[in-house]
Every structure is written in C-alpha cells, then in structure tokens.
Amino acid sequence: MNKTPLVIGNWKMELSHKSAIEVVSAIKKMMQQETYPADIVVCPSFPSIAAVHASVQGTPIAVGAQNVHHEEKGAFTGSVSVASMRGFITWCILGHSEVRRAEGDSDALVAQKAKLVLSHGIRPIVCIGETGQQHDSDETISVISAQIDMLLSSLDRVSLLKTVIVYEPIWAIGTGKLPDPNEVYEVLLFIRKRIAGHFDIELADRVYLLYGGSVQASNVKQYIAGPGADGVLVGGASIHPRDFMDIVSRTASAYAL
C-alpha cells in the first residue's frame, strides 16, 4: 500500500526558545527550495510549541509535544495538560524512554495517555523498546510484546490507525550504537503480526511503524529500505536543520525503493 514516509524530530530539552524558532525557520527555508516527499513533524519543548505552531502556518510541517499529563486537568503543579496544547499540536510523543525513566510511565499509563490525546484529536507517537540488558539477554521480543499488547488492548481500530508506533531500542538512543537492521526488521515484523493477530492484516499494513535511535543521514537508509520502517524518530540530529533535512531526503528516497 502507498504511504508517505514520516520523519519526526524530537528536540528534547536541547534548544532555547530563540534557537527553536531559528531551527524551524531554517527547515521552512529548505522546504521552499526543494521538494521533500515525506511528512515532517517537529516536537519542541512546551514553551516553544505555540510559537513554532505559528511559524509553520501555511507549510506542511506539523507540530508535536514531547509528553503530556495523563489527567485532563487538576492540581498537578508543573504538568502540562492536553487541553492547554490543543490547537497548537497535532501529534504527541508518549512513552519515550527518557520519560519512562524520569517519571515512571508504565505501559498502562502510556496507553491511557494515548486514549486521552486521541479524544482531543491529537495523534499519539508511542515509543517502545528494550534496554541494553534486555537486548543482551534475548528479551527484546518479550518486552516488545508486553508493550504492544497493552496498546492493542486499549485502542480500537480507528484509534490504532491514528497512532504511530516507534521501535526505539533504549540502548541506541543518543549513544551512537546502532542495532543490526535485520534485528530491527524482525521487531517491526513481530509488531505487524501482533497487530494482524489482534485486528487483521489490512490494518497491520496501514499502521505506521517507525525506527528511532542514533539516526543520522549516513545510516537512515538501512532501516527504511526493503521491509524496513515507515519513517524515523530523530533526536540529536533533529536540532541541526541541514542534518535533519538530509535525513528526510534519504528516508524518502529509501522508502520509494
């Protein structure tokens, strides 16, 4: 089936407000000079979301958040509600390993957040993946299966179709350590089969599955070409506009193969 590849930039807590605007302006400029046949999402930190949203008006760039609180509203000092971001974001990263580690988000809470953002018309980007220790002791598939099953038992067909699932081996995030592409294909295939078993093959084919972890322009093709991912979630390289757009170009050309 025909899909447009998806490239998501997770800016983490790397940019000042001024730099966030400069980065998105540079991306916009490059998009005026060249055609990039991919869907692009940028995820600034909370204080820059509204300004980045204003800056991308009239462009194909979409804006996402990096997390959200699991409750609609209430006495949660320091937290950010989905309602406060509504109108500014169309995507929201959930279950990123850095958030799971810092805030203890469980698979059940990630699924709850996915349902919450979907109820506000926002598409979840759900990150799953194993630690280095789990990888080394051959527990990848059992970890992934628990994570994916929680999501599948929480979402209906329409919700799942709006959800993007990102396989991010935790040991590959920000480390420069790259997984064997064959292992990534195996995990992606496992996820698709799990979706097919829960729903059907047609739905499993349509759901977007991405790879994330130390992606650079020089290594992205191996995770996309052939039976690879439908796109990538990029952390470190996404705050450098030229690098990010090189990744977008190479993702699009590898996906077209």
- Inter-residue contact 217 to 243 (CB < 8 Å): yes
Q: Which of 96, 98, 130, 135 is catalytic?
A: 96
CB of 175 to ligand PEP, least distance (A): 7
The reply on whether position 235 binds ligand PEP by CB under 6 A is: yes
Position 233 contacts ligand PEP (CB under 6 A)? yes
**Binding-site residue total for ligand PEP (CB under 6 A)?**
14
**Cα-flanking dihedrals φ and ψ of residue 211, to 5°?**
-110, 145
- Does 214 contact ligand PEP by CB under 6 A? yes
Annotation says 120 is catalytic = no
Helix axes 107-119, 140-154, angle to 10 degrees: 40
- What is the closest distance, in whole angstroms, from the C-beta atom of residue 215 to ligand PEP in the complex? 5
14 is catalytic: no
Nearest 5 degrees, angle CA 111-CA 116-CA 122? 105
Length of the chain: 257
Tokens 């996915």 correspond to what residue?
Answer: 114
Q: Using an 8 Å Cβ cutoff, are 19 and 244 in contact? A: no
Contact pattern from residue 88 through residue 107 relative to ligand PEP, giving x for each residue in contact according to CB under 6 A and a dash for the rest: --------x-----------
Active-site residue set: 96, 168
Contact residues for ligand PEP (CB under 6 A)?
Answer: 10, 12, 96, 168, 173-174, 212-215, 233-236
